């Protein structure tokens, strides 16, 4: 299991230089989520899973949370609007048994189900209880350098019947999708000089003949 270099399995994102605004800006990938296609499996209230992806500065809003329904498992399917280089994750829950105890990350597997989550993840973390949203779990950036869909699986918690999450922070870099397609379309839509030369020369050639 991957572990951070400080504060147990997670690295404290409040440490080091820089103010809160700079730290908040680093956790801005919630703005790059395709929310119309975001889906959380086993959420008790429909649509509540989307509420936990918000600004770092708003993580303390305890009125926005997702709770699992039938058991402790939660699975988020998170599509992005472009290509993401994922660098870190924050998971904030209650300081009790409902806090998730393990997180498993999968990249580029759209519409993932709990059955799909039985496979080996791209990275796995043991989690500490984090009721204030301060612990960062750094990813293996080389492995998550080109992510257009992220699945986050929480298979268990610290002993409660259900799992409760208030905030999930995603840190990284975003690149606009399909730039090469725009280039191809522009190229195909542009006039072909060779065709124009042919059209210009054809009447002259016919006249000489």
**Model confidence over 73-120: pLDDT tens digits?**
999 999 999 999 999 999 999 999 999 999 999 999 999 999 999 999
- Residue 140 resides in a domain: yes
Nearest to 126 by CA among 5, 13, 11, 3: 3
- Residue 19 resides in a domain: yes
**What tokens appear for 207 in the block?**
């006249």
The stretch 39-66 carries a mean pLDDT of: 97
Q: End-to-end distance of the chain based on CA atoms, in angstroms?
A: 81
pLDDT of residue 10: 67
CATH code for position 28: 2.60.120.470
Domain count, the chain: 1
- Residue 199 resides in a domain: no
pLDDT of residue 26: 85
pLDDT of residue 152: 98
Express each pLDDT in 19-48 by its tens digit: 456 667 789 999 999 999 999 999 999 999
Q: CA–CA separation, 119 vs 138, rounded Å?
A: 21
Non-local (6+) Cβ contacts of 136 within 8 A are 4, 10, 11, 12, 13, 88, 89, 90, 169, 171
Q: Identify the DSSP state of 127.
A: P
pLDDT of residue 177: 76
Q: CA–CA separation, 44 vs 98, rounded Å?
A: 14
- Residue 200 resides in a domain: no
- Residue 197 resides in a domain: no
Contact 127, 102 (CB under 8 A): yes
pLDDT of residue 12: 60
- Residue 6 resides in a domain: no
Give the DSSP H/E element, type plus range, for residue 170. Answer: strand 164-176
- Residue 194 resides in a domain: no
- pLDDT category of residue 158 using cuts at 50, 70 and 90: very high
Express each pLDDT in 162-199 by its tens digit: 999 999 999 999 999 765 544 444 444 555 555 444 44
Range of the domain at 110: 11-177
CA-to-CA dists, residue 109 to 119, 158, 198, angstroms: 11, 27, 49
The residue length of the chain stands at 209
**What tokens appear for 149 in the block?**
């869909």
- Residue 78 resides in a domain: yes
Lowest-pLDDT range of 4-13, 21-30, 152-161: 4-13
């Amino acid at each position: 299991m991957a572990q951070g270099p400080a504060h147990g399995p997670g690295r404290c994102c409040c440490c080091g230089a820089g103010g809160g605004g700079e730290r908040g800006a680093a956790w801005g990938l919630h703005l790059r989520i395709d929310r119309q296609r975001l889906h959380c499996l086993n959420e008790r209230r429909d649509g509540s899973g989307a509420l936990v992806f918000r600004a770092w500065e708003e993580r303390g809003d305890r009125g926005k949370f997702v709770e699992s329904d039938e058991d402790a498992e939660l699975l988020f399917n998170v599509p992005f609007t472009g290509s993401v280089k994922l660098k870190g994750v924050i998971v904030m829950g209650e300081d009790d048994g409902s806090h998730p105890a393990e997180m498993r990350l999968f990249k580029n597997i759209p519409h993932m189900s709990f059955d799909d989550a039985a496979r080996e993840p791209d990275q796995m973390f043991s989690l500490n209880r984090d009721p204030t949203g301060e612990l960062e779990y750094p990813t293996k950036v080389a492995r998550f350098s080109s992510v257009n869909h992220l699945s986050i699986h929480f298979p268990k918690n610290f002993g409660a019947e259900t799992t409760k999450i208030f905030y999930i922070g995603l840190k990284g870099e975003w690149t606009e999708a399909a730039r090469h397609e725009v280039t191809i379309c522009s190229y195909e839509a542009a006039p072909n000089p060779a065709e124009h030369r042919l059209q210009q020369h054809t009447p002259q050639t016919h006249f000489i003949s």
